[in-house]
Structure 1
Amino acid sequence: MQTRRGFIAGASTLALLPTAGFAQSQPAADLIAKAKAERQLVWYTGMVVSQVVRPLAEKFQAKYGIEVRYATAGDSDTVLKITSQARAGKMEVDLFDSPGTSIPPLTKAGLIEPFVPDALAKYAPTFKPQSQLYSGIYALYLTTTYNTDLVKAAEAPKTYDDLLDPKWRGKMVWTDTRAISGPAGFIGNVLSVMGQDKGMAYLRELSKQKIVREPGNQRVILDKVISGQYAIGLMTYNHHAVISRAKEAPIAWVKMEPLVANLGVIALAKGAPHPNAAKLFLEFMFSDDGQKIIAEAGYPPGNPDVPPKDPSIGPVTGNFTSTLLAPEISSQESEPLAGWLKIYDELFK
């Protein structure tokens, strides 16, 4: 039996290495026929429509003639909509994606249908949990970024201990979110790597640095660093920094190991009205063609045969270690996240 502790993968790239010996699979003819008979599917998504959602939907429809109806929704809205539809006895959605936080409540409510696309056969175990309740589309990596106009590369913090330098006091910022991708995830990473006693001692010292808490997501925080409002951004996504750097923004990211990894996942709703069309769409999303769209948008795809657009942002091609904080531990009411949030409230607020 896998424990909650088992969902905190150690500082390693091994969990993200591909499974060898698998060729790309093709969807079964029977699945394609049943999917075409359903004619459409409904997808709740938090991904960028112009860069990811629309290109995936259009290419899938062109290939199979099946309409993809998508609606943008954050995780809280997704959970509310799906639970409300289940209570009413009329499920309207087939698929939903998530940064992980919708998985625990919908799992508890029994509203996720287990399914593993055949296309995931060659993916690393990280992207296909034993529960079969979700599939990992990509892993995103949170780390430290800095404004290159304010901080020289040679002076930028390279390690967690470097963040304790007094010169950074009051010049660092992170998002004031209670999600696992915020300060609580940083705390969990530190405790996982350093151990409880040493980790808590480090966090107490770090709290003296007066890290600024700002509302908004990681993109908002990165933009504040880019604008020069702060010199250092903590728990920001490395692929965001690469995208902004390509547009000549004064930003760079640090390979502060281990980085924090969190999955972008997608799942099949229990009682989905178009289950076969949804399953066929998942086969397409995880195929080489689907993952190339993910890569082109600047994300590091989970497909081992599709490299990131910028090789530096993935742990294998970029040669860095990471700690995976899996969706199963993203509930703020349960351990370990509840404990990490308590530490955040006590030390950093």
Structure 2
Amino acid sequence: MQSGFRFVMTALTLGLCLCLGCVELSAQDDLVAKAQNERELILNGTALVGQFEKFSEPFKRRYPFIKVQYARTTGEALTTKILREAAARQLSVDVILINNYTHRIFTKKNLLTPYAPPGAANFPQGFIDKQAYWVGFYLVPYAITYNTKLVAKTNAPKSFDDLLQPKWKGQISLEREEYLVTQSHMQFLGRQKAIEYFKRLAQQDLIHVNGHSKQAVLLTAGEFPLIVYSDIARTEELKRKGAPVEWVRAEPHITVLVSAAITREARHPAAARLFMNYLASDEGQREILSIDKPPALPKFRPEYLSGINLFPADWTLSDSYEEYNKLYREIFWKNS
């Protein structure tokens, strides 16, 4: 009797799995059919064009009928563009690739539509939105970074407090619109302690540069010896190419999660969902390694981050972004 019961339950379980599999395949086929009619996908993001092109190659090979158009700009410029287009009811982008901090702003303004790709269950808490408004793309962990030709390892700063030493005055670069990372640093230190630290740091005659990519190029060229917050993954990529750069193992390593979301007014919703399916799959997450970025899925984390304590940027900080950005400008732009 018991063996018969087990047989029935096993058969039912297998049947249910097959049924769910058929439903998933049917949904995928339906998306493909609709995407064949849309024939286009428009994305805006902060990843470099070359990086996105490499990451999206497998997607383009699988769906050659989809014309993929990608435009890249800085986070602040992209945020402004999206909000301006939305206000004018001229939002043309299908998928936005930007940090989840900014996606929270877009979500609260009702600019995104929820979608949970088949691979969503593989993402741990914090790497995918509970309400499915965004899914993790890759990590951007930050660290103090220096030019090894200008600064010997023995003389390099060992902590953020070391940047306040008189010898570094006029030698340190800060990205001009470093809002999110500094706000996260404030959360790590506590508001009052952070304000006191930032004011002292601002007195170091910081060298403001627009854009992290340009900042990394200038550091490599020896235009200045230090960057307060620089992408560890980019530094590792530059080191492999022989650049004289190194990052400091000093906490906090503020870590921003770049994520993907579909806009509510997406003109190519099926193509957008196919792209999200690819991005959230093991194939897509593994492909992120080829563009020298740490994938959102921890199982694909690169070796150089082993043992490093990352401090994730809290996306709810964006609830007070206007107030904080004003404070940031008052502190860091005062003498620029």
Shared fold (TM-score greater than 0.5)? Answer: yes
Aligned-residue identity in percent: 23
SS at match of 1:62: helix
Structure 2 counterpart of 1:154: 154
Structure 2 counterpart of 1:28: 24
1:231 aligns with 2:225: yes
Structure 2 counterpart of 1:15: none
**Residue of structure 2 aligned with 1:77, choices 78, 81, 96:** 81
Amino acid at match of 2:151: V
SS at match of 1:125: coil
Pair 58,220 (structure 1): closer, same or farther in 2 beyond 3 Å: closer
Pair 83,36 (structure 1): closer, same or farther in 2 beyond 3 Å: farther
Contact 1:330 1:337 in 2 (8 A): no
**Structure 2 gaps, min length 5:** 1-19
Pair 246,48 (structure 1): closer, same or farther in 2 beyond 3 Å: same
CA offset digits 1:111-169 (Å, max 9, x no partner): 21012223121222121123432112011012211110111112111111211222111
Greater mean deviation of Cα atoms: 202-211 or 29-38: 202-211
Q: What's the CA shift for 1:267? A: 0.5
Structure 2 counterpart of 1:293: 287
Pair 191,269 (structure 1): closer, same or farther in 2 beyond 3 Å: closer
Structure 1 counterpart of 2:166: 166
SS at match of 2:126: helix
Contact 2:133 2:261 in 1 (8 A): yes
Q: What's the CA shift for 1:270? A: 0.9
SS at match of 1:233: strand
* Max Rg structure: 2
SS at match of 2:153: coil
| Counterparts of 2:324 and 2:311, CA distance in 1 | 14
Structure 2 counterpart of 1:142: 142
Pair 176,340 (structure 1): closer, same or farther in 2 beyond 3 Å: closer
Pair 202,269 (structure 1): closer, same or farther in 2 beyond 3 Å: closer
Report the TM-score when normalising by structure 1: 0.78
Structure with the larger helix share: 2
| Counterparts of 1:196 and 1:56, CA distance in 2 | 38
Pair 151,113 (structure 1): closer, same or farther in 2 beyond 3 Å: same
**Which residues of 2 match residues 201-280 of structure 1 at below 5 A?**
201-214=196-209, 216-280=210-274
Pair 81,102 (structure 1): closer, same or farther in 2 beyond 3 Å: farther
Q: Segments of 4+ in structure 1 off by > 6 A? A: none
**Which residues of 2 match residues 1-349 of structure 1 at below 5 A?**
28-38=24-34, 39=36, 40-46=39-45, 47-52=47-52, 54-64=53-63, 66-74=65-73, 75=78, 76-84=80-88, 87=89, 92-100=92-100, 102-177=102-177, 179-180=179-180, 185-186=181-182, 188-214=183-209, 216-308=210-302, 311-312=303-304, 314=305, 317=306, 319-330=307-318, 334-345=322-333, 349=336
**Structure 1 gaps, min length 5:** 1-24
Contact 1:34 1:277 in 2 (8 A): no
Q: What's the CA shift for 1:248? A: 1.1
Structure 1 counterpart of 2:3: none
Amino acid at match of 1:249: A
Q: What's the CA shift for 1:105? A: 4.8
SS at match of 2:154: coil
Pair 301,64 (structure 1): closer, same or farther in 2 beyond 3 Å: same
Contact 1:41 1:278 in 2 (8 A): no
CA offset digits 1:95-120 (Å, max 9, x no partner): 22123575355334312101222312
Q: What's the CA shift for 1:57? A: 3.6
| Counterparts of 1:83 and 1:102, CA distance in 2 | 16
Contact 1:138 1:265 in 2 (8 A): yes
Count, aligned residues:
307
Q: What's the CA shift for 1:79? A: 4.0
Contact 2:98 2:259 in 1 (8 A): yes
Q: What's the CA shift for 1:68? A: 4.3
Contact 1:174 1:213 in 2 (8 A): yes
